[in-house]
Structure 1
Amino acid sequence: MAARLRQVEGDESVVLRVTHSNIKTFAADVRFSLQLELYDDTNSKVSDLSDNSRPLGFYSPLNGFRLHVIDLDPASVTSGGWLEDTSLVEKYTIPEDEYCKRDGTFRKFKEKMQSQKPSALENKISDNYMEDLCANIKVGDRCEVDPGAKRGVVKFVGRAESLSPGFWVGIQYDEPLGKHDGIVKGIRYFQCLPLHGAMVRPDKVKVGDYPERDELEEDEI
């Protein structure tokens, strides 16, 4: 262990930083009486304190000296480095049958949450979802899309394999109010200018006499 000495005039003790050969992260400042037997080191070895008849003061320790403890006990709890490296410590694993009997485990919580979810079959959207609403929507129809009363032209009606089941309507907006150019998730459903295309559910679409906004303003002049 390393000792950093802080000597005070008239004080017959010294503060040493103590380190340990088997515990690399251990370090402590300890005040020792100069009568104790210690191993005194600097960065290079100064001396072995092997003479038990000599006090620590005989070796003239100074501030910053390092006292290193050599642990020669093969049965020492510090041997092998396991006090610092937890990967060397054998981990306890509970037997599967005992874990299954316990309450309050993450597995029991997960099973409970899954049992409370509605059946996947109950939530499944039919392939014919909103097909009836497409009866009066044809490609080429002028339309208005909610929310926002966005106007445009119907460019696609039908199922979209890259989207959820059911029927979809592809819209080419008059203005750049869309998200794409007719390609959705790598599949082209129609052609339009960038950011003018959108795929919406039929219940958002109203077809009829919906001229472009500029044309409407000219008619009102």
Structure 2
Amino acid sequence: MNMSDITVHFTSQLTNSERRISPNWSFEYLKQRIENFTGIPPNSQQLLLFPTSISTDPVDLSSNDDSTAVLDLNITSDSRVQINDTRPLSEQEDLTNESDIKYFELDEKDYEKRSDTVRRWKQDNQLGRFHPDFKTKKKEQLQNNKVRAQQLCVGARFRTINEIGERRGVIKYIGKVLEIDFENIWTGVEFDEPVGKNDGSIKGVRYFSCKPGYGGFLKPVQVEQGDFQEESLFSDDDEI
């Protein structure tokens, strides 16, 4: 299912801009697009996600698999992504061999003053995090997650109820996952089929155990608990 593009604030040593990206992109493709405006090759990019405009503790996205969808990186229109160049300084300089060039840099305060940015347009039109009801809706979403989490049980069967389509499995964990964010409660699940992103661990921290590629973390509101029998993604006709 295609989803609407979102506008995200990207910063690096040489850039400060807002870019439209698609939640349907893969992490690999996102890094390719980032190279276009930063000049940093994908394998030399360290991407640090600041989930909100007031976040001070970033989430390092570097450990994600290239096939991970942007949707699963939890990047939103309220996020900022800092791109660091991990190459040695000598290699960075060799790329241009023009050390006397002075690059244009725009700090956060100057960027805020500009009237021709996407951020200012969103402010003027009260869109995204600038909508008067943004904080209220975000609070409601957090509360809805909390209520749904209280209705779920570790060990129970489930099916997904969101845009990724119906997937089934077993609930393995319910609680905070600080490697993703600091506010939401998450549901750790083991899918019946290898459609997950991990083995129950994320960024080196283990929350439950399952086979690699079968684990994932979903928001409780994405999960429906019930007596859902295991179904294969493949029919007998698909066997070879």
Greater radius of gyration (CA): 1
Greater helix share, 1 or 2? Answer: 2
Classify the TM-score, shorter chain.
Answer: 0.3 to 0.5
TM-score, normalising length: structure 2: 0.39
TM-score, normalising length: structure 1: 0.42
